[in-house]
Amino acid sequence: MSTASRQPVTSDPKAMPAHVAIIMDGNGRWARARGLERLEGHWQGYRTLKKIVYAADEMGIRHLTVYGFSSENWRRPEAEVGGLMSLMLRAMKAEIDELAANGIRVRVLGRLSQLPADLRQEFEQAMERTADYQRMTFNLAINYGGRSEIVDAVRAVAAEAASGRIRPEEITEETVASRLYAPDTPDPDLLIRTAGEMRLSNFLLWETAYSEIWVTDTFWPDFSQELLAEAVRGYQARTRRFGAVVE
Ligand code: IPE
Ligand code: IPE
Ligand code: MG
């Protein structure tokens, strides 16, 4: 990705967030409230995600990262996990042409080796096909855990140290950050969580050090372009200090 397509983190209150991250939560509760199966909520969540990807692009958000399946979500009933895996496969097959036609770079963040082989292959093809696209980066966190991501980065740095390519005293925050799953995506400016929970659930632990957090009670399937715009306005009204004094 060229540097021209990236925007620096800025404290200009009117600026668009360069990177918006979303914890898409509440599919199950949305379904239960309608007497539907949880999987119906996930399918509706997919339809919402599709709208939000293109809405974010239209608004000029350059990087969008969404939490689709956490490393802890394997604890769910087998039928739900299996249903989510086949949803993701069908969704990626259905959407990749349109994403590519719109110049959107797709990247999947997480331990892909633990996913079903057909899904992993679909994700790898999507990433390869769109690797050079620069209009917007769409990161999909699947089998993702913030702690695993840091562990994987630490393993990479440790291997370099063991082979003598880097000395321990040379290791900086940049060294670690450059081994994370999306090293050329800036840290999220704005983190949105739907369905009201006030927690990170192991999402982007390193990257959200200074993200502005915006939570809505709305369940993910009911999330909308209007709510995204509201979150951005909320973000723009905040004062980001990054530990400094800002008058
Ligand atoms: C988010 O919705 C989607 C995934 C975690 C896969 P949930 O399935 O967590 O919905 P709730 O939180 O049970 O309502
Ligand atoms: C976080 O939601 C993971 C995703 C949205 C993919 P969860 O529903 O898994 O989070 P908890 O269990 O409420 O913390
Ligand atoms: Mg949930």
* Proximal ligand: closest to the CA of 42: 1
* Nearest atom (ligand 2) to Cα of 220: 5
Residue 25 designated active-site: yes
Total-model pTM: 0.95
Contact of 213 with 189, CB cutoff 8 Å: no
Q: How does pLDDT run along the chain (247 residues), one tens digit per residue?
A: 333 343 444 445 569 999 999 999 999 999 999 999 999 999 999 999 999 999 999 999 999 999 999 999 999 999 999 999 999 999 999 999 999 999 999 999 999 999 999 999 999 999 999 999 999 999 999 999 999 999 999 999 999 999 999 999 999 999 999 999 999 999 999 999 999 999 999 999 999 999 999 999 999 999 999 999 999 999 999 999 999 999 8
User: Tell me, what's the pLDDT at 247?
Assistant: 81
The sign of the torsion formed by the CA atoms of 188, 134, 55, 124 equals negative
Q: Ligand 1: residues within 6 Å at CB?
A: 24-29, 69, 73, 84, 195
Residues in Cβ contact with 138 at an 8 Å cutoff, skipping those fewer than 6 apart: 53, 64, 66, 99, 104, 105, 106, 107
Question: Which amino acid is residue 1, in one-letter code?
Answer: M
Helix (H, G, I), strand (E, B) or coil at 63: strand
**Among 91, 88, 182, CA closest to 139:** 182
Beta strands in 24-177 (DSSP E): 63-70, 104-109, 136-144
* Cβ 92 under 6 angstroms from ligand 2: no
CA neighbours closer than 13 Å in the CB half-sphere of residue 59: 24
Ligand 1 atom 6: residue of nearest CA: 69
CA distances for 50 relative to 118, 175, 189, angstroms: 22, 34, 21
Q: Is 81 in the pocket of ligand 2 (CB under 6 A)?
A: no
- 202 CB less than 6 Å from ligand 2? no
Told to judge if 152 belongs to the known catalytic residues of this protein, a careful annotator would answer: no
CATH placement of domain 18-145+182-235: 3.40.1180.10
Chain-centroid distance of CA 32 in Å reads 25
Q: From the CB of 41, is ligand 2 less than 6 Å away?
A: no
Give the tokens for residue 84.
Answer: 């989510």
Please report where in the chains the tokens 């036609």 appear, as a residue: 101
pLDDT attached to residue 12: 59
Active-site choice (12, 27, 57, 73): 73
